[in-house]
């Protein structure tokens, strides 16, 4: 059974031009980014009212339980893997955080285990929705650029939806991620040079007629990322957390969570937005610098080599949206020293969570924020763990310390 596609029209954030729901465009003619309108508050209320029933909980699984709020015209024809509803679990504070903690802070934050998606990263939220929508729009060929995880995710869901896919990725990206792209059947184009070069080549390739599915720009991808907020709301028993910490490069997770919580706020299901925090390393921290300096744009930075390759993006396309989301919620940004990342990865692994260094930046950032008293209630913080540790190739192999 289909739904009215008119609510899937796209609007340019720069000039206000609107494109109909069947237009296969990824940016406005003026060069501006396109956005979907948020779902009507009544639709949000009705959706979550239905989900509170026992029958709906049995029949609707994963992120597709929110299908009425997603840009999918035929939810009964979705091609999926059962993705979503990743665990939300408590981590006890470790290391110096435990020594400094008092009261509820000793419990540590809540961890959202988004590395347990089919492709091994949170990017499946966006890819699942985007690729199903592109199939509805009769797209057959697409290109994407990625530092690794998004490429692997888009390749995986392109295969599931029967679309031909080319992924442009830095040649220096983790070999496991590049292998995953190729094994999923996508055409892998390994691009020498910095991450930004892969974007340039993907956009150039799209001029030949393929749809550009750049996850940092695509509005359908962002719509999928909103499901993170919807899940956390349900998993907390119908409320928003006090604070959320994300590793931020392109910012799709932070922006998507912001929009998801705004949907819930507009529907009267929550009374306030959680504070959103961006974690970056000092090897590439344009968002943290902009917040610290009170800028409305991301300043140029000299990117250095980093183990947190997934967030090493100097000028993310939606940089202004990242800053706006942080400031609207009263959150902030934290810079993690590069040298702290791998030790923090070991700390997190000993708690039972083996994730790649990009994810670790959020954990390490949360620890720094907690020990400096930035959270009113350190136990009411959600940290998202975004990618599996099995994807990173350069782990040091040393004897474990007790």
Nearest residue to 247 (alpha-carbon basis) of 166, 348, 377: 348
Token pair in block for residue 61: 């699984």
- 207 by DSSP, 3-state: which? coil
pLDDT, one tens digit for every residue, the chain (402 residues): 568 888 999 999 999 999 999 999 989 999 999 999 999 999 999 999 999 886 555 556 799 999 999 999 999 999 999 999 999 999 875 544 444 445 444 678 999 999 999 999 999 999 999 999 999 999 999 999 988 899 999 999 999 999 999 999 989 888 888 999 999 999 999 999 988 899 999 999 988 889 999 988 999 999 999 999 999 999 999 999 999 999 999 999 999 999 999 999 999 999 999 999 999 999 999 999 999 999 999 999 999 999 998 899 899 999 999 999 999 999 999 999 999 999 999 999 999 999 999 999 999 999 999 999 999 999 999 999 999 999 888 888 764 454
Q: How far apart are CA 289 and CA 248, in angstroms?
A: 13
The pLDDT of residue 196 is 84
HSE value, Cβ hemisphere, 13 Å, CA-based, for 155: 27
Sign of the four-CA dihedral 195, 196, 197, 202: positive
Q: What is the predicted pLDDT for the residue at 57?
A: 58
Tokens of 288: 């943290």
Separation of alpha carbons 209 and 6, rounded Å: 25
Q: Whose CA is closest to 281, among 316, 306, 299?
A: 306
Strands (E) located in 2-84:
10-12, 18-19, 34-36
Instruction: Measure the CA–CA gap between 280 and 12, rounded to whole angstroms.
Output: 29
Please list, in sequence order, all residues whose beta carbon lies within 8 angstroms of the beta carbon of residue 241, skipping any fewer than 6 positions away: 110, 232, 274, 380, 381, 382
- The fold adopted by the segment(s) 88-120+221-391 is Rossmann fold (3.40.50)
**DSSP summary character for residue 116:** G
pLDDT at 131: 98
Following CA atoms 133, 139, 141, 143 in sequence, which dihedral angle do they give, to the nearest 10 degrees? -50
pTM: predicted TM-score of the whole model, two decimal places:
0.93
Would you put residue 234 in left (φ > 0), alpha (ψ -120 to 50) or beta? alpha
**Element at 108 (helix H, strand E):** none
Collapsing DSSP to helix, strand or coil, 334 comes out as strand
CB-based contact 44:263 (threshold 8 Å): yes
**Can you name the residues that pair with 281 across neighbouring β-strands?**
284, 336
Provide the sign of the torsion angle of the four alpha carbons 46, 47, 53, 55, taken in this order. Answer: positive
Q: How far is CA 256 from the centre of its chain?
A: 7
């Amino acid at each position: 059974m289909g739904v009215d596609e008119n609510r899937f029209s796209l609007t340019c954030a720069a000039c206000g031009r609107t494109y109909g729901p069947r237009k296969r465009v990824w940016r406005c003619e003026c060069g501006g980014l396109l956005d979907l309108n948020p779902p009507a508050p009544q639709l949000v209320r009705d959706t979550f009212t239905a989900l509170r029933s026992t029958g709906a909980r049995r029949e609707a699984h994963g992120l597709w339980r929110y299908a009425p709020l997603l840009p999918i015209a035929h939810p009964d024809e979705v091609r999926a893997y059962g993705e979503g509803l990743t665990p939300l679990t408590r981590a006890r504070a470790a290391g110096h955080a435990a020594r400094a903690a008092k009261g509820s802070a000793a419990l540590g934050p809540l961890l959202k285990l988004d590395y347990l998606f089919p492709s091994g990263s949170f990017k499946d939220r966006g890819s699942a929705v985007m690729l199903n929508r592109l199939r509805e729009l009769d797209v057959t060929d697409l290109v994407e650029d990625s530092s690794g995880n998004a490429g692997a995710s888009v390749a995986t869901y392109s295969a599931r939806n029967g679309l031909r896919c080319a992924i442009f990725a830095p040649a220096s990206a983790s070999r496991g991620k590049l292998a995953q792209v190729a094994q999923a059947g996508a055409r892998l184009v390994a691009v020498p040079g910095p991450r930004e070069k892969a974007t340039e080549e993907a956009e150039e390739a799209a001029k030949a007629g393929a749809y550009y599915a750049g996850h940092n720009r695509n509005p359908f991808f962002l719509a999928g990322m909103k499901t993170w907020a919807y899940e956390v709301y349900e998993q907390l028993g119908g409320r928003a957390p006090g604070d959320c910490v994300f590793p931020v490069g392109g910012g799709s997770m932070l922006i998507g969570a912001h929009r998801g919580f705004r949907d819930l706020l507009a529907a009267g299901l929550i009374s306030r937005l959680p504070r959103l925090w961006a974690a970056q390393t000092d090897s590439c921290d344009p968002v943290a610098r902009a917040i610290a300096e009170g800028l409305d744009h991301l300043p140029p930075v000299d990117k250095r080599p980093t183990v947190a390759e997934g967030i090493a993006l100097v000028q993310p396309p939606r940089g202004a949206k990242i800053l706006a989301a942080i400031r609207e919620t009263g959150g902030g940004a934290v810079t993690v020293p590069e040298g702290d990342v791998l030790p923090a990865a070991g700390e997190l692994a000993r708690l039972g969570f083996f994730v790649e260094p990009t994810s670790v930046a959020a954990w390490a950032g949360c620890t720094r924020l907690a020990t400096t008293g930035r959270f009113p209630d350190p136990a009411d913080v959600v940290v998202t763990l975004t990618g599996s540790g099995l994807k990173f190739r350069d782990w040091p192999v040393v004897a474990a310390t007790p």
